[in-house]
Amino acid sequence: MASGNSIKNKKGFTILEMSIVILLFMFAVLTVSTIYLSLINASVLANDYYQALENVRLGTEKIWRILKYGWSFRVISNGSGIIFQKKDCTTTTIVFSDNRLYYREGNMETTTVFDPELVKVNNLIIATDTPQTSETYAYFQYAPKIIILYYDLEIKSKKGATSTLIFEQAVAPLNSTYSTNLCE
């Protein structure tokens, strides 16, 4: 009996107090977990964008290298593509269509320059200089000396977020200074 009385005499917490404590604890856990998830999401987004940017770098680097050593450039489709001969004289085409940038080399299968899962091409405009001459004796007389590509891209994350990337790329083909076109 004595032990029973001592328990009764001890003043504990009421249900209301306990409820408030649990509620506050849940609130704190919810807040922290939400922030933690946001942090993870931001990190994933950064990683996705970084991957897409690397893909853009890779694609533009490829285009730059191929154009740099190419021959006989001709802008096609009102500036949305270019046809030329690669270093080994293979006829090559780069063309923008259906939000993708296609690359075709000779009879090989057409591939995309950028990964469609990571990069959406909104627009591509290609411009070249046109030397004002009727002389066609030497290649350098009529060969374009500069090619400028305007990219309007959209990089994508797996969660659906997108970010615009607009830039330009200039390429001065090395072979345009030669007198003989080795591919003709």
Partner 1 sequence: MRISKGQILALTLFVLLSSLGIVLVLLMPINQQVIRIRKILNTFQALTFAESGLEVASLYSLKGKTLNNFSYNSTNPGGDVNQSPCATFFDQLCSRNTIGQCNYLKIQCIITTTTSDKIEAEMYNLELSSGIIYSYFIKLISTGKYKGLERVLDFDFLP
Binding site for partner 1 (CB under 8 A): 11, 13, 17, 20, 24, 27-28, 31-32, 35, 38-39, 42-43, 45-46, 49-50, 53, 56-57, 60, 75, 78-79, 122-123, 125, 127-132, 145-146, 148, 150, 152, 155, 163, 165-172
Least Å distance, CB 91 to partner 1, is 21
Query: Which residues pair with residue 82 across a beta bridge?
Result: 75, 94
Question: Least CB distance from residue 107 to partner 1, whole Å?
Answer: 30
> Alpha carbon of 95 to those of 15, 20, 39, 63, 88: distances in Å?
72, 65, 39, 11, 20
Joined tokens for residue 177: 């200074």
State how far Cα 176 lies from the chain centre: 30
Nearer CB in complex with partner 1: 115/152: 152
Q: Which is nearer to partner 1, 110 or 145 (CB)?
A: 145
For the CB of residue 126, give the shortest distance to partner 1 in the complex, in Å: 8
**Which C-beta is closer to partner 1: that of 78 or that of 136?**
78
Query: Around 106, how many Cα atoms within 13 Å sit in the side-chain half-sphere?
Result: 7
Among candidates 150, 163, 156, which has minimal Cα distance to 117?
156
Residue with tokens 């609130």: 27
* Minimum distance of partner 1 from residue 104's CB (angstroms): 22
Residue nearer to partner 1 on the CB measure, 54 or 88: 54
Count of residues in the chain: 184
Q: Give the residue with the Cβ less far from partner 1, 32 or 108.
A: 32
Return d(Cα 151, Cα 124) in angstroms, integer.
5
Min dist CB 106 to partner 1, Å, is: 27
Alpha carbon 166 to its chain centroid, in Å, reads 10
